[in-house]
Structure 1
């Protein structure tokens, strides 16, 4: 039996580690479905401790694509599609055109800029400039898709893009999930185009996607019970922690 399980896993990955990743997928999906953020970053951390560095971002993209598409389907009635469409325009441009920009900037500057942007979007007053929300979402899509190819999880950045829209909690999470579905789909296509083989990882990622869908159902049920003002406070706290941690990483990477 153990030989059969091992044959379905990538070489060098133990069944116990695989089981831990499947369980982690449940809890990270539940976290994002309930609070709108944190699951992708936590999953990235789990993968970083268990899989080869060269495969982390690609495998993370496939798992998160499955997780987000499940969450989008469950919460589809609350998706606000106009921001998704604008974000999609930028994301397609970013994947096709912007990757060279990341290669030209040191990693510490990417972390620094990302952290400062998140903190600014959470705490600073937003200027009333005509068309800013539209152009901001397109530009944000470009930046998010480029960064996602390198650092893997940019959920806090995408959530920060949505904050000025002041969406109700269910609309915020559902719209965020639709954006992330698109972003991770583009990432999977891009990694496939440059030669990454997903075949060895497919059985494990399918199991993680299935457990993540169960987590989405659990987290969605919890979301319905969270008061709107508590949700808004929790989201600000989590985004602030994420932004400060990016600044910490930028300082240490120097």
Structure 2
């Protein structure tokens, strides 16, 4: 019976593994804001056909980030979210036009360099970063997510210079990435991708992810601010270096 609910080519054991991975990655992202989406992308890359990875990943991330946004909604800074969303609308429209035209290596390399720079290079105080910067960053990150899927570290790096309190940072990041992935799923639907066969598996992954979000949120409340910021920088560094590695292969 379980096999009937699964997409063609996905064995039951692989499906159960993806459901478990969804719990772990959602817990990590709820606690640290980043990393989970990238790990989930890697898990999908080893389990599902290449042509559906980005679209299915986007649908899973909508559910995961939506649950995180709900749980942490009281701390989200909505004016920042609104500016990011305006930029994202432009980014998804442009990405839909070029989704099959640009080389992935170039985008991976640029994303890796940006993440490393935002994590470790001291940023000057620039007037308007919270407004214009989020508009541009929303457009650029949403454009890139159409090609490489997991741009959560990009969005996190974009928010870091604003010196938000840890709960504000995680909650605002959650809402921004929810909107970004939702726009991506909508765009892939317009481009002809059929999500119907994947809905039962994705629904199970989303439920598992929500349980992980609740567990990760409890960890966030107990995590000292200093260790929180250090962990984010270390994760950003690992992700950035891995993106450069993939760009050079």
Shorter chain as normaliser: what TM range?
over 0.9
**Residue 193 of structure 2: aligned partner:** 196
1:12 aligns with 2:9: yes
- Structure 2 unaligned spans of 5+: none
RMSD: 1.3
- What are the equivalent positions in structure 2 for 1:85-234 lying under 5 Å apart? 85-100=82-97, 105-234=102-231
* Contact kept in structure 2, 1:98 and 1:142, CA below 8 Å: no
Q: Aligned equivalents of 1:147 and 1:72: distance in 2?
A: 22
Moved over 4 A (4+): 98-105
User: Deviation at 1:55?
Assistant: 0.7
The offset of 1:163, in angstroms, is 0.6
Distance 1:98 1:71 in 2: 26
1:36 corresponds in structure 2 to: 33
Check 1:102–1:140 CA distance in 2 against 1; reply closer, same or farther (3 A cut). farther
Q: TM-score, normalised by structure 1?
A: 0.94
**1:151-178 superposed Cα distances (whole Å, 9 cap, x missing partner):** 1101110100001111111111111000
Q: Deviations over 1:117-152 (max 9, x none)?
A: 111111112233322331111111111111111111
Match of 1:49 among 46, 49, 68: 46
Q: Is the 8 A contact 2:99 2:146 kept in 1?
A: no
d(CA) in 2 for partners of 1:194, 1:103: 11
Using structure 2 for the length normalisation, give the TM-score.
Answer: 0.96
Does 2:57 correspond to 1:60?
yes
Aligned length: 249
